Structure 1
Amino acid sequence: MYNIKAAAKILDMPKVTIRSWETRYSAITPARTETGHRLYSDQNLEDLKWLKIQVQEKGIKISEAVKQLHSSKRKPIEKVQNPGDFDADTYDKQIYELYMAASELDTERFNYLLDLNFSLFHYRTVFFSIVVPLMVQIGKEWENGSMPVAHEHLISHIIQQRFTQFFRVFPTSPDLPKVMAFCPTGEYHQLGLMLFTLFLRENGFSVMFLGANTPLDGLAKIVEQQDVRIVCMAISDPSSRPLAEKYVAEIGAADKSVHFMVGGQGVIEPLTTGNVSFLGPTYESWQQELDRIKKLPLSKA
């Protein structure tokens, strides 16, 4: 739960606007403390963010945007738990609509459909059950030559922007170890890594996301300067494993207390040894690994 000051900072909105949309238009109904102060839930923030997009980017009047919001049949957050429980077939229509917009390079409609999906479903549902199957399909079309690489790059860029927006929403705890996340040189498939990074942010971790094709040069120095305690890597090609091991060796030599988490389809042998652990593909495995990591001594020697 967030007070109005935190909500205004997260949404980049004036507090007076939030109060106005709540009282004049009944856009949301925040909880109240015993002393009457407002407390905003994650769902409240998602609603306000959606309304902000409709008003500022779409030019819709706030009164009309609120009507659209209230008429949408939302899926309660409480029912969304494990992405592994999601049935992708349920969202075939949403995936198809986004795919058609992507294939036609209709970025305005693509963004509109993303906004609509985020307004109708929990963000975790959108990312895991709509965006992931969509990007897998687009990747296959690109590989077989039926979709130009420019299309794939553009849509991937839009999706990455959406992840970045959600990264900023979650507050981080200074008591948790800092994390660095990247794909090593030659690795460009970063969707899974972004999902895991979002998971870490949900759990309060401050994450430095460097993205795809990150060179080794200078990483050890960044780890030292920023006091990074956990380094996450994702590789999609088994041939990249020796390179990943080189990253672990060089960064680990500079600071032996750093823990490494390596995942992706390129990791054929899911073994946990020393300061390196395997990152599985499921949300449940992420939670188990996170619980284990929290018990490790990650402070500098």
Structure 2
Amino acid sequence: MYGIKKISELLGVSPITLRAWENRYGVITPTRTEGGTRIYSEQDLSDLKWVLHEKEDKMISIRQAMLAFKEKQASQTSFTSPSSSDISFSNLTDAIYEALIEYDASTATETVNLAFANFDYETVFHQIFIPILYNVGYQWETGKLSVAQEHFISHFIQRKILRFFEDTQSEQGTVKALAICPPNEFHNIGLLLFSLFLKKRGVDVIYIGENTTKESIKSLIQINQVRLICFSVTLNSHIHYVVDFIEYLEKQPVKLDYLIGGHAANQLPKEYQNHVLTGELEDWEKWFQTTHYHKKVKRHNVKI
């Protein structure tokens, strides 16, 4: 939930303009507190982003963009979730993807919730979310998706994963892991998924994420007694950052284990290949069962 000031910052639109749009077009109307304060939902934010994208992409007036949004609302029955008798990974994947490329977060969320109601959330992430992301990457590279669409879909999926990550609690005092991307690496959804995998199995994960410098984590490792470092690298041009990072860690007084995942991990020098882990859930499970970590932790499932 957002106040009008935060929405203004996120959209780059003044509060005065937002209030004027609300009064003039009556399409995107936030709820209000008892004191009259406007409260915008995630859906309101998504809808306003759609309107602004429509205006800029088609070079039309805000009034025309608002009318287009109203027409979109009226025709939303064109995107429907699969029925309970027609649930499959492919149908769910297609339905979510088709909704997201139209910036229809509401229908996408409805279908995601249907998936969660029928499958374990890790299964949903790996059998539905990952194929969507692969398709998004391919469609973007071939020019069939815009940057706005790619960002919208990636952020939508990331928010869904973060919801589970934040609500999964690890037992204090257990093994601690640190999840990071090397400098200039900003693709972090795979790393987030693996962090959630570890948390679900009781490992206490400190998730830092994208664009982390080696100097910034030295004290963090010592203070928190981190024993496992998880890297994600998706671009070949970032391989040298990972190597530099590992060489730096190996000079520290604490002995650390480390894992490396991501599309570019198989491009690492040969001496690092035994630390590479693929993106398959079954491979993660096999790795975990062969380590000493699973003997030291308890599993912590979460239902949302």
Give the structure-1-normalised TM-score. 0.63
Counterpart selection for 2:104 from 99, 103, 106: 106
Counterpart selection for 1:206 from 204, 224, 230: 204
Q: Residues 95 and 131 of structure 1 are in contact (CA less than 8 Å); yes or no, is this contact kept in structure 2? A: yes
Give the superposed CA RMSD: 3.2
- Shift in Å at residue 234 of structure 1? 1.2
Task: Write the deviation string for residues 134-179 of structure 1: whole angstroms up to 9, x where unpaired.
Answer: 1111111112222111221122112111111111333312343111
Give the structure-2-normalised TM-score. 0.62
- Distance, in Å, in 1 between the alignment partners of 2:245 and 2:161 is 25
Counterpart selection for 2:179 from 178, 181, 190: 181
- Shift in Å at residue 131 of structure 1? 0.7
In percent, how many aligned pairs have the same letter? Answer: 27
- Distance, in Å, in 1 between the alignment partners of 2:168 and 2:127 is 21
Query: CA 1:228–1:142 in structure 2 vs 1: closer, same or farther (change >3 Å)?
Result: same
> Does residue 215 in structure 1 map to residue 219 in structure 2?
no
Q: Residues 136 and 145 of structure 2 are in contact (CA less than 8 Å); yes or no, is this contact kept in structure 1? A: yes
**Larger-gyration structure (1/2):** 2
Q: Which moved more, 1:201-210 or 1:261-270?
A: 261-270
Q: Residues 74 and 119 of structure 1 are in contact (CA less than 8 Å); yes or no, is this contact kept in structure 2? A: no
SS of equivalent residue, structure 1 residue 236: coil
- Distance, in Å, in 2 between the alignment partners of 1:234 and 1:91 is 26
- Distance, in Å, in 1 between the alignment partners of 2:207 and 2:233 is 15
Query: CA 1:271–1:289 in structure 2 vs 1: closer, same or farther (change >3 Å)?
Result: farther
Structure 1 gaps of 5+ residues are 1-55, 59-70, 76-89
SS of equivalent residue, structure 2 residue 179: strand
Query: CA 1:217–1:145 in structure 2 vs 1: closer, same or farther (change >3 Å)?
Result: farther
- Shift in Å at residue 269 of structure 1? 6.1
- Distance, in Å, in 2 between the alignment partners of 1:225 and 1:273 is 29
Q: Residues 179 and 230 of structure 1 are in contact (CA less than 8 Å); yes or no, is this contact kept in structure 2? A: yes
SS of equivalent residue, structure 1 residue 189: coil
Structure 2 gaps of 5+ residues are 1-40, 44-82, 297-304
SS of equivalent residue, structure 2 residue 162: helix
Q: How does 1:146-295 map to 2 (within 5 A)?
A: 146-268=144-266, 277-294=275-292
State the AA in 2 paired with 1:251: L
SS of equivalent residue, structure 1 residue 213: coil
Q: Residues 235 and 266 of structure 1 are in contact (CA less than 8 Å); yes or no, is this contact kept in structure 2? A: yes
- Shift in Å at residue 57 of structure 1? 9.6
- Shift in Å at residue 207 of structure 1? 0.8
- Distance, in Å, in 1 between the alignment partners of 2:284 and 2:100 is 30
